Amino acid sequence: MNQSEKSYSLRQVAMIGGAITTTAIFTVFGPAWCRSVHASLQDSPKAIVDQVWQLVNREYIDSTFNKKDWLAIRQSLLSKNYTSPKQAYAAIRNALEQLQDPYTRFMEPRHYKALTSQTSGEISGIGIRMKMSEQTNILTVVEALENSPASKAGIKAGDQILAIDGKPTVLMRIQDASRLIRGKVGSVITLRVGRMGNPTLNLKLTRASIEVPTVRSAIRTEGDRRVGYIRLREFNAHASEQMAKAIRKLDRQKVDAFVLDLRGNPGGLLQSSIEIARMWLDEGAIVGTVDRRGSSELTKANKTALTKRPLAVLVDENSASASEILTGALKDNKRAIVVGNQTYGKALVQSVHELIDGSGLAITIAHYYTPKGTDINYKGITPDIKIKLTEAQERQLAANPQLIGTKNDPQYARTWAVLSNNYLAQPLRNLPSRSAVFPQAPVKRF
C-alpha cells in the first residue's frame, strides 16, 4: 500500500492531556493513502478500520502492542463486513482495548470536533460565561468576555438568560443552554434577557469566533507586598500568548513575587507547556521524551525568561500531564517552590489524527521525563510543601470560586507564607540542572 507520509518532531505534533484530554495534529497519512484505501475498500467503513490499524502500527509506543499479535488483529478486522460506521467504530474500540492503554482511543466525529474546539482555545458563540443561580434557579451571566458579541450588545454579569431563540431556559441545564448558544460563525441568535429593575429585552446577536480565556491574573496585596497571581486552566493553543501577556503586565506593575496556580489543570498541548516554561526559565532542561525506538529528545530553555521574580507553583491531584511538565521543569531547575498535593502522574505523550470520515484517533507515542530524568508516571510530582484541603474547604471554594487564590484559600495562604518568610528576602535563582540521563527504551506503563 502506498503511503504519503510527513515527518514531525514530538514538539510539533504531540499533545499531553490530563486524565483523557488531547488535542489535534496533522495526520501522517496524506491524500495518496486515502485514495489507495478508497480504491481498495470501495469507500466502505472498513477504510476507517484499516486507517486506525495502520496509524497504531506505525506510531504506538509499545512495539509489542501489549504482547498482542497486531498483524493477526488486522486480518481479523478486515475479514469482517461492516454495514455501518457504528459497526466499524465498535470494531476499532475492541481492537484498541487490547492495548490496555486508556490514552490510545478512538473518537467519533462529534467528539473529535468537540476536542479540537476545546484545544484550539476558540469557540463559536457570543462570549458569555453562565451559571445556575442558587438563589433564583435562573440561568445567570457570570461574565461577558471582552470584545465579544455579548459585551458589545450590553450584556453584563448578573443578567438573567430567560429564553434562547424562543426556548424558555427555566429548568434547562447549563450544558443544554451552551449547546443552543453555540453555532456557526455569522449566524444570528436571539436572547431574552432580564435585568434587575428593568424590563426584559430581546437581543439579537451574531455569533463569532471567541478566544476562550484560559489565563486569569490579578494583583494580591499581602501586607506591604504585592503578589502577581496567575491561574492557568489548560494548555490550549492560546495559553502561551495569554500567559506572556499576564506575566509582562504584572511585572510592569512591579509585583514582588508570582504565584502560578495549576490546580485542576488537566494538561493540553505539549508545545504550549514548553513555551510557558521558557517564560520562567532562562537556562536548564525542560523535558525529555523517549519514543518507541528508544530515541530521546531533550528540550531546553533558551534564555527567553520574562521575569526573574520569585515564583511559587500551586498544584493538586488534578494537575496533570502538561501541568506536570511545567511543574517538573520549574522544580528541578530550582526556579520555583511547589505547594499543594501530589500531582496526577501522567507521563505519556499522545498524537491525535483526524481520520478520513471526520472521526479522530489519539495514540500514545512517547514517554516523558522531568529534567532530572524522573519518571512520574502513576506517581506524580511531590510538592516541596504538602498541604491538602479538607472536604469542607473544598466545598467552600467550589461554592465560592472568587475565594480561590485569596487569603480564604488555605493552599494559597500557605504559599504566600512560604514565599514571604523564605524567599522574598533572597529571590530564587534559576539554577540549571545537571544534564539528565534518559532511558534508552520507553517504559511500558499505563
- Is-catalytic flag, 332? yes
* All structural domains of the chain: 10-120 (3.30.750.44), 122-211 (2.30.42.10), 215-348+365-423 (3.90.226.10)
Predicted local confidence at residue 430, as pLDDT: 45
DSSP state of 30: -
Q: Cell numbers for 13, please give them.
A: 505534533
d(CA 21, CA 348): 12
**Dihedral of the alpha carbons of 338, 344, 345, 347, in degrees to the nearest 10:** -90
- Rounded CA-CA distance 13/320 in Å is 19
Nearest Cα residue to 163 out of 210, 203, 209, 208: 203
Catalytic residue among 50, 101, 346, 351: 346
**In angstroms, how far is CA 76 from the centroid of its own chain?**
36
Report yes or no: 156 and 141 within 8 Å, Cβ to Cβ: yes
What does each of the 446 residues of the chain score in pLDDT, given as a tens digit? Answer: 333 333 334 444 455 654 333 323 333 333 344 444 444 444 589 999 999 999 999 999 999 999 999 999 999 999 999 999 999 999 999 999 999 999 999 999 989 988 888 888 888 899 998 888 777 788 999 888 888 999 999 999 889 999 999 999 988 888 889 889 988 999 999 999 998 888 899 999 999 998 888 999 999 998 889 999 999 999 999 999 999 999 999 999 999 999 999 999 999 999 999 999 999 999 999 999 999 999 999 999 999 999 999 999 999 999 999 999 999 999 999 999 999 999 999 999 999 999 999 999 999 999 999 999 999 999 999 999 999 999 999 999 988 888 999 999 999 999 999 888 766 655 444 444 444 444 443 333 33
- Asked whether the whole model's pTM tops 0.85, one would answer no
Q: At what angle do helices 239-252 and 270-280 cross, to 10 degrees?
A: 20
Give all strands (DSSP E) within 126-282, no chain letters. 128-132, 139-144, 160-164, 167-168, 188-195, 198-206, 208-211, 215-222, 225-232, 257-261, 268-269
Q: Can you give the pLDDT at residue 384? A: 96
In this prediction, residue 4 carries a pLDDT of 31
- Estimate the share of the chain in helix, then strand, then coil, as percent rounded to the nearest 5: 30, 25, 45
Q: Tell me how far apart the alpha carbons of residues 397 and 404 are, in angstroms, rounded to a whole number.
A: 6
pLDDT of residue 414: 94
Which pLDDT belongs to residue 80?
94
Handedness of CA 145, 149, 151, 156 (dihedral sign): negative
Work out the number of other CB atoms within 10 angstroms of the CB of residue 381.
Answer: 25
Does the active-site annotation cover 346?
A: yes
- Whole-number pLDDT of residue 142: 87
Residue 174 confidence (pLDDT): 87
Catalytic residue chosen out of the listed positions 319, 321, 323, 359:
321
pLDDT of residue 13: 43
Catalytic status, residue 334: no
Q: Cα(349)–Cα(363) distance, rounded to whole angstroms? A: 8
Catalytic, out of 332, 351, 409, 433: 332
